[in-house]
Amino acid sequence: MPLILNQKSTDNESILAVWKITESIDELRNLLKSFTAIQPLLKKTSNESLIKQQLAIRILIFNFFNPYNLIYDEKGKPFLNNGYSISISHSNEYAVILLDKKNPCGVDIEKISLKVERIKHKFLSKKELAIVSKSNNDLELLTIMWCAKETLYKYYGKKEVIFDKHLSLQLNPTNLSCLKGEIAIGDFYQQLNLATEKIDDFMLVYTKNKV
């Protein structure tokens, strides 16, 4: 089970784990069976890639908590029964979890592709589109911005979000490690520092702490 990135925050309150899935479904099921606790149920699907991702996510959590109970609310936000906040993301062969002992959290991983170019007007504000335009529509930058918006959305955890209106980014295209996000919807307002990582052909963004 190759954990290619396993980071703990300096205050030991948050944990990030990333898995590149190379195993078959049967191999993953056998890994899951190696844990003695009752196995969390998978969402019903016939999609082989999604089955692998779901299995990998549950095995990742078992590496930190055994036993645990993973549940989803009516809006699809995941929760653990041990007091930790959790955020989950998966794309192709990658599965990611972010755990936080004290605060809500968010994480997203996406493959760098032309898809973000086609949908950029749906999730970026005019100001953010102008930043992209000045950088020659760099696909890595666009993918980071998409991941960042998804990360903010997961942190907020509710469905009534318009990405180009309620979620905003402050970034320097030449230094993407200085990325900040803002959620402003109704009476809710929060600024967050976001971390970015490039893994193979994928971009990873996750919440670090409040500004």
Confidence of residue 75 (pLDDT cuts 50, 70, 90): confident
Give the three-class secondary structure for 31.
helix
- In a shared domain, residues 35 and 124: no
Give the CATH number, domain containing residue 197: 3.90.470.20
Q: Are residues 135 and 61 in the same domain?
A: no
Average pLDDT, the chain: 89
Q: Does one domain contain both 84 and 150?
A: no
Structural domain harbouring 168: 108-210
C-alpha 82/C-alpha 79 separation (Å) is 9
Same domain flag for 69 and 51: yes
Among residues 105, 138, 158, the one where a domain terminates is 105
Query: Which tens digit of pLDDT belongs to each residue from 58-69?
Result: 999 998 888 888
Q: Are residues 195 and 123 in the same domain?
A: yes
**Residue where a domain stops, chosen among 105, 138, 159:** 105
Does the structure show a pLDDT above 80 at 8? no
Per-residue confidence band for 71, with pLDDT thresholds at 50, 70 and 90 = confident
User: What's the pLDDT at 125?
Assistant: 96
Q: What's residue 52's pLDDT?
A: 94
- Helix (H) or strand (E) run with residue 94 in it: strand 94-100
Q: What is the pLDDT of residues 132-191, one digit of tens each?
A: 887 776 899 999 999 999 999 999 998 789 999 999 999 887 787 779 999 999 999 999
- How many domains does the chain contain in total? 2
Residue 21 has pLDDT above 70, yes or no: yes
Measured distance CA(35)–CA(175) in Å, rounded: 42
pLDDT value for 146: 97
Same structural domain for residues 14 and 95? yes
| Residues 114 and 204 grouped into a single domain | yes
Q: Do 129 and 147 belong together in one domain?
A: yes
In the numeric block, which tokens belong to residue 176? 């993407």
Report the C-alpha gap between 143 and 179 in whole angstroms: 13
Residues 115 and 133 in one domain: yes
DSSP reduced 3-state for 150 = helix
